[in-house]
Homo-oligomer: A and B are copies of this chain.
Amino acid sequence: MGIMIQHSGVQQLLESHFGQFEPELISKLAEHCVIRDFEADQQLMRPGQYFKSTMLIVEGGVKIYREDQDGNEFFMYQLGAGDACALSMICATRKEQSQISAKAIEPSKALLVPIALMDELMTGYKTWYYFVLETYRSRFEELLEVVDNIAFKSMDERIEFYLKNQRKLSHSDELALTHQQIATDMNSSREVVSRLLKKMEQRGMVRLGRNTITVLF
């Protein structure tokens, strides 16, 4: 009975954010997969961890980071409900180690799809197949955009891009961010970020407050 309730919950979550999936696929997923809850700031995966399943975000938001040997982290992109982690799909299919770290930015739910199921889903369900391809494509493009930013742009342009991104994701011009958080995400230092933000304020691009940055552009 507990399982039945669980399954119908899965079904409902899938229907609301993965409406493109055919009904049989949704049933299949509801039958074989589980939902896992994450608190804000909790890690969904850490570097060096092995994947046993692919994750689809069904609620909340997740930030994806790249980490180096010294534990520095570099923010790459963010996932929301309806997105999937390409890495967990790719690595999952090869039982590879994760090279990235993922952190929930708010209370979130993810659907765990066992890797054992992947082949069957890919060959049996057209909408799943397209979903996976589309996931690869969009993650790849996001990653290319990340390369653009750090390869061609200076710090102030990168901050601007970062803020635009955050605004889009939070659907608000008031961002609840500290300078330190931004610096950490960009693998820079707080002083540099403060300095550049101050210049942006003087140019009328943002308004700065404690824990808040209001985007004006």
Query: Residues on A close to B: CB < 8 A?
Result: 66, 68, 72, 74, 76, 86-87, 90-91, 93-94, 96, 99-100, 122-123, 129, 133, 136-137, 139-141, 143-144, 146-148, 150-152, 187
Contacts and interface: CB of A to CB of B under 8 A. Distances in A.
Contacts of A143: 140, 143-144, 147
B90 A147 contact: no
A198 to B, nearest CB: 24
A152 B87 contact: no
A122 to B, nearest CB: 7
Contact of A100 (B96, B144, B146): B144
Contact of A87 (B133, B140, B148): B140
A187 B149 CA distance: 12
Copy number in this complex? Answer: 2
Contacts of A76: 147
Contact of A123 (B91, B123, B187): B123
Contacts of A68: 148, 151-152
A100 B96 CA distance: 28
A148 B151 CA distance: 11
Given A74-B147, A74-B151, A152-B187, 18 more contacts: A66-B144, A66-B147, A68-B148, A68-B152, A72-B152, A74-B152, A90-B136, A90-B140, A93-B137, A94-B137, A96-B137, A100-B144, A122-B129, A136-B140, A143-B144, A147-B147, A150-B151, A151-B187
Contacts of A144: 66, 99-100, 143
